[in-house]
Protein backbone atom coordinates (compact mmCIF):
# COMPACT_ATOMS: atom_id res chain seq x y z
CA UNK A 1 0.00 0.00 0.00
CA UNK A 2 1.27 3.48 -0.88
CA UNK A 3 2.35 5.43 2.26
CA UNK A 4 0.37 8.57 1.46
CA UNK A 5 -2.81 6.54 0.93
CA UNK A 6 -2.46 4.95 4.36
CA UNK A 7 -4.75 6.31 7.06
CA UNK A 8 -3.02 7.64 10.17
CA UNK A 9 -4.97 5.66 12.79
CA UNK A 10 -4.08 8.00 15.64
CA UNK A 11 -5.32 11.10 13.81
CA UNK A 12 -8.38 9.23 12.59
CA UNK A 13 -9.37 8.00 16.06
CA UNK A 14 -8.22 11.01 18.07
CA UNK A 15 -8.80 13.91 15.70
CA UNK A 16 -8.41 17.30 17.36
CA UNK A 17 -10.33 20.31 16.12
CA UNK A 18 -8.50 23.61 15.90
CA UNK A 19 -9.13 25.90 18.87
CA UNK A 20 -10.94 29.05 17.74
CA UNK A 21 -11.60 30.81 21.04
CA UNK A 22 -9.71 33.53 22.85
CA UNK A 23 -6.18 32.20 23.25
CA UNK A 24 -4.74 31.63 26.66
CA UNK A 25 -2.72 28.56 27.65
CA UNK A 26 -5.50 27.65 30.10
CA UNK A 27 -8.23 27.90 27.46
CA UNK A 28 -6.20 25.83 25.01
CA UNK A 29 -5.55 23.11 27.60
CA UNK A 30 -9.20 23.03 28.68
CA UNK A 31 -10.27 22.77 25.04
CA UNK A 32 -8.04 19.70 24.65
CA UNK A 33 -9.55 18.22 27.84
CA UNK A 34 -13.05 18.95 26.56
CA UNK A 35 -12.35 17.26 23.23
CA UNK A 36 -10.97 14.20 25.03
CA UNK A 37 -14.08 14.13 27.25
CA UNK A 38 -16.29 14.26 24.18
CA UNK A 39 -14.44 11.43 22.45
CA UNK A 40 -14.51 9.21 25.51
CA UNK A 41 -18.23 9.81 26.09
CA UNK A 42 -18.82 8.88 22.46
CA UNK A 43 -16.90 5.62 22.91
CA UNK A 44 -18.82 4.80 26.09
CA UNK A 45 -22.15 5.46 24.35
CA UNK A 46 -21.12 3.21 21.48
CA UNK A 47 -20.09 0.44 23.88
CA UNK A 48 -23.44 0.78 25.67
CA UNK A 49 -25.35 0.72 22.39
CA UNK A 50 -23.39 -2.35 21.30
CA UNK A 51 -24.23 -4.15 24.54
CA UNK A 52 -20.65 -4.15 25.83
CA UNK A 53 -21.38 -1.92 28.84
CA UNK A 54 -24.43 -1.83 31.10
CA UNK A 55 -26.39 1.34 31.76
CA UNK A 56 -24.87 1.56 35.24
CA UNK A 57 -21.30 1.07 33.99
CA UNK A 58 -21.83 3.67 31.28
CA UNK A 59 -23.29 6.18 33.72
CA UNK A 60 -20.46 5.66 36.21
CA UNK A 61 -17.79 6.05 33.52
CA UNK A 62 -19.35 9.25 32.17
CA UNK A 63 -19.84 10.62 35.68
CA UNK A 64 -16.14 10.00 36.45
CA UNK A 65 -15.11 11.73 33.21
CA UNK A 66 -17.38 14.67 34.06
CA UNK A 67 -15.77 14.97 37.49
CA UNK A 68 -12.32 15.00 35.87
CA UNK A 69 -13.41 17.70 33.43
CA UNK A 70 -14.90 19.78 36.24
CA UNK A 71 -11.68 19.48 38.26
CA UNK A 72 -9.68 20.52 35.20
CA UNK A 73 -11.88 23.59 34.73
CA UNK A 74 -11.49 24.58 38.38
CA UNK A 75 -7.73 23.91 38.45
CA UNK A 76 -7.16 26.05 35.37
CA UNK A 77 -9.16 28.91 36.97
CA UNK A 78 -11.00 29.71 33.76
CA UNK A 79 -13.60 32.43 34.00
CA UNK A 80 -17.02 31.57 32.62
CA UNK A 81 -17.78 33.31 29.33
CA UNK A 82 -21.24 34.86 29.56
CA UNK A 83 -21.08 36.43 26.07
CA UNK A 84 -21.41 33.10 24.22
CA UNK A 85 -24.80 31.60 25.06
CA UNK A 86 -24.73 28.56 22.78
| Interval 51-79: pLDDT, tens | 999 999 999 999 999 999 999 999 999 87
According to the model, what pLDDT value does residue 69 have? 97
Mean pLDDT of 11-37: 83
* Residue 34: pLDDT over 60: yes
* Residue-range domain boundaries for the chain: 24-75
Average pLDDT, the chain: 84
Stated pTM of the model: 0.73
According to the model, what pLDDT value does residue 3 have? 56
* Residue 82: pLDDT over 50: no
What HEC string does the chain produce?
CCHHHCCCHHHHHCCCCCCCCCCCHHHHHHHHHHHHHHHHHHHHHHHHHCCCCCHHHHHHHHHHHHHHHHHHHHHHCCCCCCCCCC
Amino acid sequence: MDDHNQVDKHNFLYYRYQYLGQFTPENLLFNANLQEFSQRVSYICNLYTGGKLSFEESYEEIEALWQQLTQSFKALKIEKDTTNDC
